[in-house]
């Protein structure tokens, strides 16, 4: 089994120790940080395969840590599992909306955490290979990790941004419904992923606008339209 680094950012010593022990038993390498500032620095330095992130942290809370990870091209693709004592459906939806890929409530089962880590890593590692190749899209993958080229302009994307980019560039000027995008990206839970879709589209729109490739307009309650500005 390939060893993956899992970054644990958890300030409660008992929970941090339990996560660390359980993941090491499952043959993962781990790195533990007990506050948000140290955890964020570790993520930028180590570029882990996955992050376990507590929400309520000293120094910098988990929401801000997540936002900063997602705002950096070098780390925005890393899967994040949020861990929190807040356990309602609203809390879980909010966590996913912040940019998390999964959310688990305390108290947690170590076996369940390990199982979810394995599932997230499988999905992440397969994401590039399974990103739909959409007919008519001018997107070319230059590097299997992050770099793509559109009309000769190179920039970095996450696997899900790649899927969105391919679809939008294949259908410029057409409104693509939110339901279609959610089905393409997640194939489940439309309500759970509405905020995550909004975040992904905003991030991708900034990149395509900065590269003078095109802009993405939102139509609330309907979907999104990509307008091409670059010349093929």
For every residue of the chain, which 3-state class applies, written as one string? CCCCEEEEECCCHHHHHHHHHHHHHCCCEEEEECCHHHHHHHHHHHCCCEEEEECCCCCCCHHHHHHHHHHCCCCCCCCEEEEECCCCHHHHHHHHHHCCCEEEECCCCHHHHHHHHHHHHHHHHHHHHHCCCCCCCCEEECCCCCEEEECCEEEECCHHHHHHHHHHHHCCCCEEEHHHHHHHHCCCCHHHHHHHHHHHHHHHHHHHHHCCCEEEEEECCCEEEEEECCCC
**What is the pLDDT, as a whole number, of residue 192?**
60
Q: What is the pLDDT of residues 204-219, one digit of tens each?
A: 998 899 888 899 999 9
Question: If we measure between CA atoms, which residue out of 125, 82, 124 comes closest to residue 103?
Answer: 82
**What is the pLDDT, as a whole number, of residue 2?**
42
144, pLDDT greater than 60: no
Q: What is the pLDDT of residues 82-99, one digit of tens each?
A: 998 876 777 777 777 777
Domain 5-127: CATH superfamily, name plus number = Response regulator (3.40.50.2300)
pLDDT band at 65 (very low <50, low <70, confident <90, very high): very high
Alpha carbon distance 124, 145 (integer Å): 11
224, pLDDT greater than 60: yes
% the chain with pLDDT above 90? 40
**What is the pLDDT, as a whole number, of residue 58?**
94
Domain boundaries, the chain: 5-127, 131-228
CB 62 within 8 A of CB 80: no
Asked whether the whole model's pTM tops 0.85, one would answer no
Q: Which one is predicted more confidently, 8 or 170?
A: 8
**What is the pLDDT, as a whole number, of residue 41?**
96
Q: What is the pLDDT of residues 10-21, one digit of tens each?
A: 999 999 999 999
Q: For the residues 174-198, what does the mean pLDDT come to? A: 79
pLDDT band at 166 (very low <50, low <70, confident <90, very high): confident
The label of the residue with tokens 């606008």 reads: 209
Query: Which CATH number does the domain 131-228 belong to among 1.10.10.10, 1.20.1050.10, 3.40.50.920, 3.40.50.2300?
Result: 1.10.10.10
Mean pLDDT of the chain: 84
What are 175's two structure tokens?
Answer: 């409104």
pLDDT band at 115 (very low <50, low <70, confident <90, very high): very high
Question: If we measure between CA atoms, which residue out of 74, 79, 75, 77 comes closest to residue 159?
Answer: 77
């Amino acid at each position: 089994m390939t060893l993956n680094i899992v970054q644990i950012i958890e300030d409660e010593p008992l929970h941090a120790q339990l996560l660390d022990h359980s993941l090491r038993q499952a043959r993962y390498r781990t790195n533990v940080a007990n506050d948000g500032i140290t955890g964020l620095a570790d993520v930028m330095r180590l570029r882990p395969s996955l992050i376990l992130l507590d929400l309520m942290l000293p120094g910098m809370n988990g929401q801000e840590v997540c936002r900063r990870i997602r705002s950096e091209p070098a780390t925005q693709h890393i899967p994040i599992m949020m861990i929190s004592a807040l356990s309602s459906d609203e809390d879980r939806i909010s966590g996913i909306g912040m940019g998390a890929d999964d959310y688990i409530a305390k108290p947690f089962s170590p076996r369940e955490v390990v199982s979810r880590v394995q599932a997230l890593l499988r999905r992440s590692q397969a994401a590039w290979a399974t990103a739909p190749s959409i007919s008519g899209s001018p997107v070319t993958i230059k590097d299997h990790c992050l770099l793509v080229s559109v009309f000769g302009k190179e920039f970095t994307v996450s696997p899900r941004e790649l899927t969105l980019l391919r679809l939008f560039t294949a259908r410029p000027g057409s409104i693509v419904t939110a339901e279609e995008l959610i089905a393409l990206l997640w194939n489940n839970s439309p309500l759970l992923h509405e905020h995550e879709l909004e975040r992904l589209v905003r991030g991708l729109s900034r990149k395509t606008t900065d590269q003078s490739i095109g802009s993405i307009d939102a139509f609330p309650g309907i979907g999104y339209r990509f307008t091409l500005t670059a010349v093929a």
